[in-house]
Structure 1
Amino acid sequence: MDYLQAIILGLVQGLTEFLPISSSAHIKIVSELAGWGEPGATFTAITQLGTELAVLIFFRKDIGRIIGKWFRSFGSKGGSHSAGIQKGDPDVRLGWIIIIGTIPIVIAGFLLQHYIRDQLRSMWIIAIVLIVFGILLGLADRLGRRTKTVADVTYRDGLLIGLAQMLALVPGVSRSGASTSMGLVLGYDRPSAARFSFLLAVPAVFGSGLYETYTALTCKVAEDATCGQGYGLGPTVAATVIAFVVGLAVIALLMRYISTRSFLPFVIYRILLGGVLIALLSVGILQS
């Protein structure tokens, strides 16, 4: 992969990671149309570290508060401050909810990673999934009550949203789209559904990205042919940096947008893109 390809793919990653339109699908589509071949799950996971760093920066106050209080809750139970945190602090509870909500995608990713890489990256699957989950997002956005906020997240809701996030292992679903849709179905307002979706994604994406980074480095050292196509360190770093910068801007714009407007433009975009892909696949311009 040369630097031009890395810049373009990093830009695509940053633009699409936080929008409910599937970054993995767009990276594959752009790569196929440009004739670059499959960039692979490893490259996608590593560049996602850049976009998740953008989440850490944008939500740094929330994340820092949650992590700090969660760890302090394990302090001496004899102290009134730590005991108060342990008994019912909402940030400690939210920390546990995020941990519980992360479990489904961790289990599914571990057990199904080879199947996902080999069987679920078909362009036909991506096209159909874009349309189906676009319709589901539209229904959730239209029918959801939008009366709850992040402060109202329960353990049950966190687990259900975590199960929805698990579906994002299939390219075309969209991590933010699936978890935000479930949040809307459960009655959360749009900004709260998106905010919890971003917070929930942090452990899973960082874990996946670090694992894939380790895998890529060990494969390169071992020169193992079964490790798949390798990418140079320079282009991968460039893509990750670009994904971070663009992703940070996209988060800010998205949160401002959905505070007053619906997800309808993204629903329409997903359906149109899925339809275009089906047409291109049918006439042979794209290969499945």
Structure 2
Amino acid sequence: MDWLQVLVLSILQGLTEFLPISSSAHLILAPELTAWPDQGLAFDVALHIGSLGAVVIYFRHDLGRMLVSWWASLRGRGTDADGRLAWWVLLATVPVGVVGWACHDLIQDAMRSPLIVAAGLIGFGVLLGYADWRGRGRLSEYQLTWKQALWIGAAQALALIPGTSRSGITITAALLLGLSREGAARFSFLLSIPVIVLAGGMETLTLIRTPQAIDWSVLVIGALLSGISAYLCIHYFLAFIQRIGMQPFVAYRLLLGAWLLWIFW
């Protein structure tokens, strides 16, 4: 890998992991549209670590309260709003964990076509646009019920289809269930933590079973760039989401999907 590839892929992963435009689509398309070689599994793991670090640092205070309250609930001391939110995040992770484990090989081998990416970008982009246009919700992430959290988790499992966007489909589901834009985005970002841990864990196990030469300088730089761009993305997305809404991202998805259909059909 040259340093331009490291720079582009790292920033691309950091930005698209949390924007509703599909990180998997962009990482699949990068080698399709350039002469770059495959970046390798070790680099993918490093990028996930960077993104994970960004969301954990950004929500560190929320996560601290959630962890304390969740532990107190386990010890029979009752469950407050932070404890319930922690339980809902765990509950919403179950569907994607089950589907990801059962369908991992199918997703990796048969669903990485640019045409599938295009269909996911367009189809789920239209759904996101509808949810944002229809949504007049005012609920925060703390007002979710366990049934709503499970529905969002079931929707999250669809993100295993390239082009869907994990943040996009979870925000869509949350908006349709009555959450505000900020509440939907915050719950989506909190949900990313166990999902990235699961995905990174599976990639790490694969990496251990198939050892390869590792360029640690590339991995460290990639993780740092991914983490910095992801942190900035989260910060500015939450700062402006009430004003800009989802329509700019919907337009981007539709244009990118149409362009891919034009090139690869």
The TM-score, its normalising length taken from structure 2, stands at 0.94
Distance (Å, rounded) in 2 between the aligned partners of 1:206 and 1:31: 25
User: Aligned runs of 1:69-148 on 2, under 5 Å?
Assistant: 69-75=69-75, 77=76, 83=77, 86=78, 88-148=79-139
Task: State the alpha-carbon separation in 2 of the partners of residues 156 and 41 from structure 1.
Answer: 36
3-state SS of 2:74 partner:
coil
Contact 1:24–1:44, Cα closer than 8 Å, also in 2: no
* Larger CA deviation: 1-10 vs 34-43: 34-43
The CA distance in 2 between the partners of 1:207 and 1:42, in whole Å, is 15
Alpha-carbon offset, residue 235 of structure 1: 2.0
Report the 3-state secondary structure (helix = DSSP H, G, I; strand = E; otherwise coil) of the residue aligned with 1:148: coil
Larger Rg: 1
Task: Give the distance between the partners of 1:148 and 1:265, measured in 2 at CA.
Answer: 23
**Amino acid in structure 1 at the alignment position of 2:90:** I
1:261 maps to a residue whose letter is I
Kept in 1: contact 2:22–2:168 (CA 8 A): yes
The answer on whether the counterparts of 1:3 and 1:238 sit within 8 Å (CA) in structure 2 is no
Partner of 1:7: 7
CA apart distance, 1:137: 0.3
Query: How many pairs does the alignment contain?
Result: 265
Superposed, which structure 2 residues align to 1:60-71 within 5 Å? Answer: 60-71=60-71
SS of residue matched to 2:71: helix
Give the whole-Å Cα distance in 2 for the aligned partners of 1:120 and 1:189. 32
Give the direction of change, closer, same or farther, for the CA distance of 1:271–1:194 in structure 2 (3 Å limit): same
Question: Which structure 2 residues correspond to residues 1-288 of structure 1 after superposition, within 5 A?
Answer: 1-39=1-39, 43-75=43-75, 77=76, 83=77, 86=78, 88-220=79-211, 232-282=215-265
5+ long unaligned stretches in structure 2? none
How far off its partner does 1:72 sit?
2.4
1:180·1:193 contact (CA, 8 Å) conserved in 2? Answer: yes
In structure 2, what is the Cα distance between the partners aligned to 1:233 and 1:218?
18
Distance of aligned partners of 1:195 and 1:204 in 2 relative to their CA distance in 1, 3 Å threshold = same
CA distance in 2, matches of 1:128, 1:161: 21
Q: Percent identity?
A: 39
TM-score of the superposition, structure 1-length normalised?
A: 0.87
Instruction: Provide the alpha-carbon RMSD of the alignment.
Output: 1.8
- Is this contact kept in 2: 1:126–1:171, CA < 8 A? yes
Partner Cα distance (1:51, 1:268) in 2: 25
> Structure 1 residues 274 and 246, CA, compared in 2 at 3 Å: closer, same or farther?
same
Gap runs ≥5 in structure 1: 78-82, 224-229, 283-288
Please report how far the alpha carbon of residue 253 of structure 1 lies from its aligned counterpart in structure 2 after TM superposition: 0.6
Amino acid at match of 2:124: F
Deviations 1:193-249 (A, max 9, x none): 0000111111111122133123213311xx6xxxxxx76443233212110011101
